[in-house]
A = this chain, B = another copy of it.
Amino acid sequence: MGIRVAVAGASGYAGGELLRLITGHPEFDLVAATAHSQAGSPVSAVHPQLTGLDLTLGSTDAATLSDADLVFLALPHGQSAALAAQLTPGTKVVDLGADFRLQSAEQWTRYYGGGHAGTWTYGLPELPGAREAIAASDRVANTGCYAATITLALAPLIAAGVADPQDVVVVASSGTSGAGRSAKVNLLASEIMGDLSPYKVGAHQHVAEIKQATGAASLSMTPILAPMPRGILATVTARRLNGGDPREALQAAYATDPFVHVLPEGSWPHTAATAGSNSCHLQATVDIDSGRIIVVSALDNLGKGAAGQAVQNANIMFGLPETTGLSVFGVAP
């Protein structure tokens, strides 16, 4: 008998990817999946890619989740706290929402508004000391998709004194699944195909999380919606300090990490190579004109940016090998 797993908020894109990963995980038994308006529907009606999975969506409440050893919360931001409080004591929880990521209540209020629910262990295993903290936790706040992409590129450079934390400029483009599964005109295929569109320019709520996770003191981030279903590509530039080598700093940081790959010199990350995987691809150089450091980071926003990361965290929480049920390799083309 494996670990009993439930997913709350299974009708969205991250929820669907969680179900795919859980059903392929050798130690996890999927015991429940819940949704709000689509409770009562077969999973395969909501996620046709899961045709063959014989499971009906339950309603999102503590009773439906009570039988699980492990609960993934993939709820709209702001809804995790109330549900988490009602779960059976001892249930391990990974929250894919933003509610418990920030340490600072003041930053929470500035970027999200409303009251701060609290702070859980931050779930990015590749950060120094993170695996130990995650392994010791029953509650883990999964990183956001932009934060994962950018933090993996930037945190080691600031830690190594190679990049100036006072001068970081990021432009990051995301596939549309990162914008969620709500019916909105601006997310229609007719509007998106052939289009690149920036949004929340100058004031994206993930800046607070990224600064907290990377140690950046000043961060300009411009997010862009790109015409592809999955993937984030982040271009992270920073003023270079001390003539340091950014690529060496990345290699040193991730030498033993199974999912973070510093590419061979001359190769640059692209999103399609990470689709369906839990990998992050990185490359770095120094601009010949400005002398700035440029790091490019790519991952699958539903993989290492959400569901894959969540499974990786859960593996660590249960003492399993970190790679269990996850793929290093992408599905391409």
How long is the Cα–Cα vector from A281 to B48 in the complex, in angstroms? 10
Q: Which of A204-260 contact B (CB under 8 A)?
A: 207, 211, 218-222, 224, 226-231, 233, 235, 237, 258
Closest B residue to A298 using CB positions: B196
Q: Is A86 engaged at the interface, CB distance under 8 Å to the other chain? A: no
A332 touches B48 (CB 8 A): yes
Q: Which of A158-173 contact B (CB under 8 A)?
A: 168-169, 171, 173
Given contacts A51-B279, A289-B220, A296-B201, contact A195 B329 (CB under 8 A): no
A235 touches B198 (CB 8 A): yes
B230 touches A224 (CB 8 A): no
Given contacts A202-B285, A270-B195, A281-B51, contact A183 B181 (CB under 8 A): no
Q: Which of A166-187 contact B (CB under 8 A)?
A: 168-169, 171, 173, 175-177, 179, 181-185, 187
B219 touches A289 (CB 8 A): yes
Selected from B20, B195, B228, the residue in CB contact (under 8 A) with A195 is B228
How long is the Cα–Cα vector from A205 to B200 in the complex, in angstroms? 31
On chain B, the residues within 8 Å of A290 by CB distance are: 168-169, 218-220
Q: Is A328 engaged at the interface, CB distance under 8 Å to the other chain? A: yes
Q: Is A273 engaged at the interface, CB distance under 8 Å to the other chain? A: yes
Given contacts A268-B199, A329-B52, contact A226 B229 (CB under 8 A): no
On chain B, the residues within 8 Å of A331 by CB distance are: 20, 49, 275-276, 331
Q: Is A197 engaged at the interface, CB distance under 8 Å to the other chain? A: yes
B187 touches A222 (CB 8 A): no
How long is the Cα–Cα vector from A249 to B47 in the complex, in angstroms? 26
A193 touches B229 (CB 8 A): yes
Contact with B along A65-105 (1 / 0, CB 8 A): 00000000000000000000000000000000000000000
B286 touches A196 (CB 8 A): no
Q: Is A288 engaged at the interface, CB distance under 8 Å to the other chain? A: yes
A194 touches B53 (CB 8 A): no
A194 touches B296 (CB 8 A): no
Q: List 6 A-B contacts (CB under 8 A).
A: A51-B263, A169-B292, A181-B185, A195-B273, A198-B270, A202-B285
